[in-house]
Amino acid sequence: MNGPQDLGGRDGFGAVQPEANEPLFHAAWEARALGITLAAGALGHWTLDESRHARESLPPAVYYQSSYYEIWIRALEVLLQRHDLIDADDLAAGDAAPGPAHPKRLDPARVPAVLAKGGPTDRSLTAAPRFAPGDRVVTRLQAREGHTRLPTYLAGRPGVIEADRGGHVFPDTNAHGGGEQPQRLYTVVFQGGDLWGTDAEPGSTVSADLWESYLEHA
């Protein structure tokens, strides 16, 4: 998916300006946005990949004019309505109608354990790997509307397999209700010159973790 979030290798969006001693949250509402998003995700109606796809599917004009946690909240509005947890009237009122407690509600006492557990994506595989460290590969050119973790600036570019990371949930299917369908994940190293030509910094490289179906033998 070539969405507004896919800015790697693009020009015209201004310089990256790191903030010295940047706080975890810039305002109290940002902490609340994080908490609401985690609590809603714990209900189990969508996957991490679907939530990421919802953020990346926001219209560019909305995405580019929103701060980090604004993007989270705008995507959460989409997910809550998509899964019938709120409706348009609830959203307009800013308060959902009272209802029975959700069986998977995230009690405050469980928050530390849930955060510590995280969301591991590693899965076992029975198929042998198609590639090995040192193999030269090229990424596939993709023209798909759905979710993908292959950055546009790496599509169709040559690289070298650096490491086999084992099986992991395949986000392209998991984002759209197609199940985890785990695939092997590889770290692939790309030469800067193969990405940006003669304008690349001499000796520069980019490493990316990419799923097996993104790759072909060079």
What is the DSSP secondary structure assignment for residue 88, as one 8-state letter? H
What confidence score (pLDDT) does residue 7 get? 83
Residue 144: the pLDDT is 65
pLDDT average, residue stretch 93-107? 79
The tens digit of pLDDT for each residue in 152-180 reads 999 999 999 999 999 999 999 999 999 99
Q: Which residues lie closer than 8 Å to 195 by C-beta, 6 or more apart?
A: 9, 153, 154, 157, 206
Write the pLDDT tens digit of every residue in 14-23.
888 899 999 9
> Coil, strand, or helix at residue 105?
coil
Confidence (pTM): 0.88
pLDDT band at 1 (very low <50, low <70, confident <90, very high): low
* The two three-digit tokens of residue 185, written as one number: 């994940």
pLDDT given for residue 188 in this prediction: 98
Segment 41-84, tens digit of pLDDT: 999 999 999 999 999 999 999 999 999 999 999 999 999 999 99
How far is the C-alpha of 158 from the C-alpha of 135, rounded, in Å? 11
Does 31 have pLDDT greater than 90? Answer: yes
Q: pLDDT value at position 12? A: 83
Please write the tens of the pLDDT for every residue from 182-204.
999 999 999 999 999 998 999 99
Question: Which residues lie closer than 8 Å to 210 by C-beta, 6 or more apart?
Answer: 139, 149, 150, 154, 185, 186, 187, 188
pLDDT at 10: 78
- Domains located in the chain, CATH noted: 28-117 (1.10.472.20), 122-217 (2.30.30.50)
pLDDT score recorded for residue 27: 96
Residue 22: predicted pLDDT: 93
Q: How many CB atoms lie within 10 A of CB 183?
A: 22
Q: Is the pLDDT of residue 96 over 80?
A: no
pLDDT tens for each residue of 116-148: 888 899 999 999 999 999 999 999 987 667 899
Amino acid 111: pLDDT: 86
Q: Which residues contact 132 (CB under 8 A, 6 or more apart)?
A: 161, 164
Enumerate residues 6+ apart whose C-beta is below 8 A from 149.
171, 172, 210, 211
